[in-house]
C-alpha cells in the first residue's frame, strides 16, 4: 500500500504564496492594457495625418522631431486601447482639422466638400444634355436625305462622264 505523502506547508509559506498570487492577479489587467503596438499599426494611422510643421507631408514619412513625437503619441494611445478612429478624433480635437488635411479656412473647407459633388452633378447634367441632343439629331440622319443626295450626285456625274466618252468615240 502506497504511502501517500502529505505536503505540509507552514503558515509563512502559505502567506507568501497568497501574496504572490495576489500580485500576479493585480498585474494581469495592466499587462492586458499595455499591448505591443507594431510600427505598421502606427503608420496605418500616421499616413492619414499630416505633419504639423511641414505642409502636405504625411506623418508616416515625415522625419522631423515633431512628427516623431506625434507617432510616439499614436503608439501610446494604441497601447492604451484606443481604436484607430479614436486616435484620429483625438488628434483632430487637439490639433485641428489641418492634421487630416482639411483646409482650415471655413469657406475653403465648405468648397472642398461641396465642389466634388457639384462637379459630378454638372457632369451628369451635361452628359444628359448631350445624349438628348444626339437623340434629337438622330432622326434627321436616319431619313438618309444627305446620303441620297450624294448618291444622286455620283450617278449624275457618272452619266455625264459616260456621255462625254461616248461622244468622243
Partner 1 sequence: MSEANIPLLEQEESTPRRAGLGPGSIVLLVGILAVIGVFGWALAQRHQTQPTAGSAPDFTLTTYDGQEVRLSDLRGQVVVVNFWASWCAPCRVEAPDLQRVHEKYRDRGVQVIGVAYTDTDTNALAFIDEFGLTYINGPDRGTRISTRYNIQGVPETFVIDQDGNIAKFIFAPTSERALSEIIDGLLASA
Query: Which DSSP state fits 50?
Result: B
Least CB distance to partner 1 at residue 167 (A): 6
CA 31 to chain centre: 33
Least CB distance to partner 1 at residue 83 (A): 19
DSSP letters for 24-82: HHHHHHHHHHS----HHHHHHHHTTSB-SSSTT-BTTT--SHHHHHHHHHHHHHHHTT-
Q: Which cell goes with 19? A: 501574496
Least CB distance to partner 1 at residue 108 (A): 6
Would you call 58 helix, strand, or coil by DSSP? strand
151 binds partner 1 (CB under 8 A): no
Q: Give residues 38-97 in contact with partner 1 (rule: CB under 8 A).
A: 52-53, 64-66, 68-70, 72-73, 93-97
Q: Name the site residues for partner 1 (rule: CB under 8 A).
A: 52-53, 64-66, 68-70, 72-73, 93-98, 103-105, 107-108, 111, 115, 119, 122, 125-126, 129-130, 146, 149, 153, 157, 160, 163-164, 167-168
Amino acid at each position: 500500500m502506497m504511502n501517500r505523502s502529505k505536503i505540509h506547508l507552514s503558515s509563512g509559506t502559505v502567506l507568501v504564496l497568497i501574496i504572490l498570487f495576489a500580485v500576479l492577479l493585480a498585474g494581469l489587467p495592466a499587462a492586458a492594457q499595455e499591448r505591443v503596438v507594431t510600427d505598421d499599426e502606427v503608420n496605418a494611422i500616421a499616413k492619414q495625418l499630416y505633419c504639423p510643421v511641414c505642409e502636405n507631408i504625411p506623418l508616416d514619412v515625415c522625419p522631423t522631431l515633431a512628427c516623431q513625437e506625434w507617432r510616439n503619441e499614436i503608439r501610446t494611445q494604441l497601447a492604451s486601447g484606443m481604436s484607430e478612429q479614436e486616435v484620429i478624433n483625438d488628434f483632430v480635437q487637439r490639433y485641428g482639422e489641418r492634421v487630416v488635411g482639411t483646409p482650415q479656412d471655413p469657406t475653403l473647407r465648405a468648397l472642398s466638400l461641396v465642389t466634388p459633388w457639384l462637379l459630378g452633378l454638372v457632369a451628369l447634367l451635361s452628359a444628359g444634355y448631350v445624349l438628348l441632343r444626339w437623340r434629337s439629331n438622330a432622326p434627321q440622319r436616319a431619313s438618309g436625305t444627305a446620303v441620297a443626295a450624294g448618291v444622286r450626285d455620283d450617278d449624275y456625274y457618272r452619266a455625264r462622264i459616260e456621255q462625254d466618252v461616248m461622244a468622243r468615240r
